[in-house]
Amino acid sequence: MNIPMLLQRPHQHFLKGLLRTPFRRYRFIFHPSPHLGSGILCAQLLSSPGLHWAKWMLPSNGLTRKLCLQTTLEEHTEGLSDKEQRLVDKLYAGLIQGQRACLAEAITLVESTHSRKKELAQVLLQKVLAHNREQEKLNKGKPLAFRVGLSGPPGAGKSTFIEYFGKMLTERGHKLSVLAVDPSSCTSGGSLLGDKTRMTELSRDMNAYIRPSPTRGTLGGVTRTTNEAILLCEGGGYDVILVETVGVGQSEFAVTDMVDMFILLLPPAGGDELQGIKRGIVEMADLVAITKSDGDLIVPARRIQAEYVSALKLLRRRSGVWRPKVIRISARSGEGITEMWDKMKEFQEVMLVSGELAAKRQKQQKVWMWNLIQENVIEHFRTHPAVREQIPLLEKRVLSGALSPGLAADLLLKAFKSRH
Ligand SMILES: Nc1nc2c(ncn2[C@@H]2O[C@H](COP(=O)(O)OP(=O)(O)OP(=O)(O)O)[C@@H](O)[C@H]2O)c(=O)[nH]1
């Protein structure tokens, strides 16, 4: 049902009352008078928990804008069929009881590109988030899981390390989940990262959950689903979450925005082999571990360690309480791995006590939100009818040099704004 409404300044108190009513089933069309404080109104509308659909009539030029499409858990739940409700309830119950099959199905739901499934995933996520918040309160505000990013060039020894490290953690009573981010799998359609065959023993361990990278979507899409998968794993009681990424491209940078601690694994190899490692990513590392420090490789491992110790000294400090460390490990002999875990726990502790961890997570939430907005806005722009039809021609003219890129961008933006 559509309910047209004229709002004027004296009616603001009426609006406040209205915002408290359960008007989920209605559609509201607001006609504010020109002098009405529209900013205040917008803010009130957007913060209204039940608002599902509203149209904003701009009286000056008659333009109709969809002001907001804000959906809430309550509304989603209301709109679910019995079958959908049963699915969400089943996944939620199974997930928080620690059933791996339910966690796997929940992550598949989050990764789905089907619009209805995406909605169901959001309902489930909201429930899991509420559960996680509750648990965190019981945990005296301490985060439920230690989120660790792990990156390194191909062949650095990541999977061998995860297998050893993961077994050590589960033997100590931890629950570990390994999530992979590999944007190359989006184009190639297949991924080895996080592949169970790479970590045969760990994948059989009931206290470990290994999830390969989704093979569809953009890097933005993959990071979104990985972020959501982290929350689901936390709901499932996993207290250590490793996010593994291959050391090429932008994926490691994306991962640093999802985790509490970022670890770089480097093989004891010369400069040539390490060229694939972007300098910037070394700067992001909280811990650098030189792998394969055993047998004949101990000597080169020591050399690389010394090189990185000096290199890190020159870098600007990112934390007031933690200095990045460089250690040597071997997943074959096990050397250095217990010490590595000790260092990781030390990092977590100092970051927690100093408040840097909470600040970092807050900042990450904001980055995550803006990344999603950025991706959606660009998509919206590209698919806008007025823009879409002009893109091929303008691109051609830019390529031939007949039009400057700046002017082409201006023209497209103008087309976007004029028929928005
Ligand atoms: N000597 C020695 N060799 C190792 C160690 N860890 C891994 N390797 C070897 O290094 C090679 C690469 O190891 P992986 O664990 O597959 O490396 P990765 O980084 O997962 O490689 P990608 O799957 O290509 O990303 C294998 O041949 C391993 O046997 C170690 O601690 N010591």
| Structure confidence by residue, pLDDT tens digits, 1-35 | 344 444 444 444 545 555 554 444 344 445 444 44
* Ligand 1, atom 13, residue with closest C-alpha: 157
* Ligand 1, atom 2, residue with closest C-alpha: 292
* Ligand 1, atom 6, residue with closest C-alpha: 157
Backbone angles phi, psi at 62, to 5 degrees: 70, 5
Encode pLDDT of 208-247 as tens digits: 999 887 755 566 667 778 899 999 999 999 999 999 986 5
The predicted structure's pLDDT at residue 327 = 96
Mutate which of 151, 159, 160, 193 for ligand 1 pocket (most atoms within 8 A of beta carbon): 160
Which residue would you say has higher pLDDT here, 191 or 338? Answer: 338
Residue 345, number of CB atoms within 10 A of its CB:
11
Assign 125 to helix, strand or coil.
helix
Residue 328 CA, ligand 1 centroid: distance in Å = 14
Whole-number Å distance between alpha carbons of 233 and 237: 7
The predicted structure's pLDDT at residue 145 = 96
Encode pLDDT of 352-395 as tens digits: 999 999 999 999 989 888 888 887 888 889 889 889 989 999 99
Residue 68 CA, ligand 1 centroid: distance in Å = 51
Asked whether residue 175 carries a pLDDT value surpassing 60, the answer given is yes
CB 51 within 8 A of CB 83: no
Which residue would you say has higher pLDDT here, 64 or 237? Answer: 237
Whole-number Å distance between alpha carbons of 404 and 290: 48
Distances (CA, A) of 152 to 116, 337, 342, 368, 417: 37, 16, 21, 23, 44
* Ligand 1, atom 21, residue with closest C-alpha: 155
CB 5 within 8 A of CB 33: no
pTM, full prediction = 0.76
* Ligand 1, atom 1, residue with closest C-alpha: 292
Residue 266's beta-bridge partner residues? 290
Whole-number Å distance between alpha carbons of 55 and 62: 12
Whole-number Å distance between alpha carbons of 169 and 141: 23
Distances (CA, A) of 382 to 118, 186, 412: 22, 20, 10
First vs last Cα of the chain: how many Å apart?
25
CB 65 within 8 A of CB 53: no
Q: How confident is the model at residue 58 (pLDDT cuts 50, 70, 90)?
A: very low
Find the residues whose C-beta lies inside 6 A of ligand 1.
152, 154-160, 192, 246, 291-292, 294, 297, 330-332
Encode pLDDT of 310-351 as tens digits: 888 888 888 889 999 999 999 999 999 999 999 999 999 999
Asked whether residue 190 carries a pLDDT value surpassing 90, the answer given is no
* Ligand 1, atom 32, residue with closest C-alpha: 292
The minimum-distance atom of ligand 1 relative to the CA of 332 is: 31
The predicted structure's pLDDT at residue 398 = 94
Kindly provide the b/e burial profile for residues 61-84, where b requires at least 16 CB atoms within 10 angstroms of the residue's own CB: eeeeeebbebbbbebbeeebeeeb
